[in-house]
Amino acid sequence: MFWMKKNTSGCHKALPDHIGIIMDGNGRWAKKRGLPRSAGHKAGAINFRKIAKYCSKIGIKYLTVYAFSTENWNRPEEEINYLMRLFEQYLKEALSDFEEENIKVLFLGDKMAFSANLQKLIDEVEKSSQKNTGMVLNIAMNYGGRQEVTEAVKKIAVELENKKIKIENINEKLVSEHLYTAGQPDPDLIIRPSGELRLSNFLLWQSAYSELIFFNLLWPDFSEKDLDRAIDEYASRNRRFGGI
């Protein structure tokens, strides 16, 4: 493949280290088929596992997926309850998956809004995978980019108040060190299926120089071949980071 890290001649190609995916379109996928929205969310969860495994297989080092935003609490209660049950079911099933694939799992967002049982499962998944040395999978749940930056500012303010830092110490690097993704590289590539052309509060700080690729298809239909296409497009771009 064009984007594989190393070909037979030993030439390295441009495979992104960090990919972000906004998993959008589950409800519309179900509606198009005359199914309840819950069927779309289930199909989306199944596809998430498939794409995550594929990213690990081809050598992606970090994958961040947008699973549930801070704004998603505004959805109907019935749909939210189903999503919470789906999260619990998935995490129980995924424990062995992550171990087999050597994937390290982290959760980005405010976990305290979830049920005690779901919080326990989240902690269990993080602890059981923390020694894994393969791909890092960030699952953004009850996550919002503005919320993340706000929380980082609060932490920095506390350190300033306690005289652990000085005002002149506050810079972009310090802010990054207080984000959920501290210690990780910013996403090289952000992919959004569903036909929407916006970030929707996803990794706002980290995506300053990310390459953005949008697909006019719904998340449950997003395939490994579509990911290949996105990586091919990414590899063809000239990333100047503000330079010439």
Confirm whether 72 is a catalytic residue. Answer: yes
pLDDT band at 244 (very low <50, low <70, confident <90, very high): low
Phi-psi region of 235 (alpha: psi -120 to 50; beta: other; left: phi over 0): alpha
pLDDT band at 3 (very low <50, low <70, confident <90, very high): very low
Q: How far apart are CA 213 and CA 231, in angstroms?
A: 9
Of 17, 72, 97, 132, the catalytic one is 72
pTM above 0.85, yes or no: yes
Domain boundaries, the chain: 18-144+186-232
Q: Is the pLDDT of residue 1 over 60?
A: no
Percent with pLDDT over 70 in the chain: 93
Task: State the DSSP code for 233.
Answer: H
Task: Encode pLDDT of 84-124 as tens digits.
Answer: 999 998 888 876 777 888 999 999 999 999 999 999 999 99
Of 24, 26, 47, 186, the catalytic one is 24
Closest by CA position to 191, among listed 143, 232, 150: 232
Per-residue HEC secondary structure of 37-53 comes to HHHHHHHHHHHHHHHHH
Task: Encode pLDDT of 215-234 as tens digits.
Answer: 999 999 999 999 999 999 99
Residue with more model confidence, 88 or 65: 65
At the topology level, CATH places domain 18-144+186-232 in Undecaprenyl pyrophosphate synthetase (3.40.1180)
The answer to whether residues 67 and 80 touch, using CB atoms and an 8 Å cutoff, is no
What's the token pair of residue 168? 């002149």
